[in-house]
Copies of this chain bind each other. A is one copy, B any other.
Amino acid sequence: MAYSPAFNPLYRQIRGLILRSLESGEWRPGDIIPSESELALRFGVSQGTIRKAIDEMAVENLLVRRQGKGTFVASHNDPNAFFHFLRLAANEGKLPPHENVPIECERAAAGQNVAKILALEVGAPVYIVRRVMRFGNAPVVFDEIYLSSVIFPDLTLDILKTEHRSLYTLFESRYGVCMIRANERLYAVSADSLSAKHLEVNEGVPLLLVERVSYTYGDRPVEWRRGFYSTRDYHYYNELG
């Protein structure tokens, strides 16, 4: 019976304020944010309330706490990966070191599908990036990546080749766009001629298709990705709990 519409606890309002500061760029990925006591002073609440707000955001991987140092904005550039979007594991043993090989960076106009997913107008300019991820010198993942050229202007194959860590590292340091979450849809498909060629398998071989939409602050979708995974020696790993 009791119907309490929009009861928002203080710590959640504080969370909203911190989020706004992240979205506005007051604190950028990798930055340290003010200490808990400073924030308590600034927002006029107790340190415990600040703490609870930050706790939630740390669980969401938006902030990272480091005892004795401070609280930092999560970043793909950090040596310790806070974001772990690639759920690939080796069938036997550990995942060998990998190499990203950009193949193509093509200008195109957004079709209906891409436009809808990235919240663009049909016909808006986009880049289509194709690249292969190699593990232990064998091709394992072939990606087709769709990006708005408004958000990622002047992207070229040469730029892609300079980045040896990950695409999200590049997006963050060059374009100031930080991916904070993503949704994935997984399908089993037959290799077409293009993916077969790049993954060095026969056409028709079953591949794992991973469609991903990535979001930055403010729930803005900024990347659509179709990854074809060869699952002979590797698999997609997931934990349920």
Give chain A's interface residues, CB within 8 Å of chain B.
59-61, 84-85, 87, 89, 180-190, 206-209, 212, 229, 231, 235-241
Q: Kindly provide the distance from the CB of A118 to the nearest chain B CB, expressed in whole angstroms.
A: 18
Complex Cα spacing A61 to B185, Å: 24
Question: Would you call A184 and B238 a contact (CB within 8 A)?
Answer: yes
Question: Would you call B207 and A241 a contact (CB within 8 A)?
Answer: no
Complex Cα spacing A51 to B181, Å: 29
Question: Would you call B181 and A87 a contact (CB within 8 A)?
Answer: no
User: What are 27 A-B residue pairs whose CB atoms fall within 8 Å in the complex?
Assistant: A61-B241, A84-B240, A85-B240, A181-B240, A181-B241, A182-B240, A183-B237, A183-B238, A183-B239, A184-B238, A184-B239, A185-B237, A186-B208, A186-B238, A187-B208, A187-B235, A187-B236, A188-B188, A188-B206, A188-B207, A188-B208, A188-B209, A188-B229, A189-B206, A189-B231, A206-B207, A212-B240
Complex Cα spacing A190 to B208, Å: 11
Residue of B nearest to A228 (CB): B188
Q: Lowest 3 A-B CB distances belong to which pairs?
A: A181-B241, A206-B206, A188-B206
Residues from chain B with a CB closer than 8 A to the CB of A239 are 181-184
Residues from chain B with a CB closer than 8 A to the CB of A235 are 185-187
Q: A231 is contacted by which of B84, B188, B236, B240 (Cβ under 8 Å)? A: B188
Residues from chain B with a CB closer than 8 A to the CB of A183 are 237-240
Residues from chain B with a CB closer than 8 A to the CB of A209 are 188
Residues from chain B with a CB closer than 8 A to the CB of A182 are 239-241
Question: Would you call A186 and B231 a contact (CB within 8 A)?
Answer: yes
Residues from chain B with a CB closer than 8 A to the CB of A190 are 206
Q: Kindly provide the distance from the CB of A7 to the nearest chain B CB, expressed in whole angstroms.
A: 11
Residues from chain B with a CB closer than 8 A to the CB of A60 are 241
Complex Cα spacing A212 to B239, Å: 9
Complex Cα spacing A209 to B206, Å: 11
Residues from chain B with a CB closer than 8 A to the CB of A180 are 241
Complex Cα spacing A241 to B212, Å: 12
Complex Cα spacing A240 to B182, Å: 5
Residue of B nearest to A68 (CB): B2
Q: Kindly provide the distance from the CB of A195 to the nearest chain B CB, expressed in whole angstroms.
A: 12
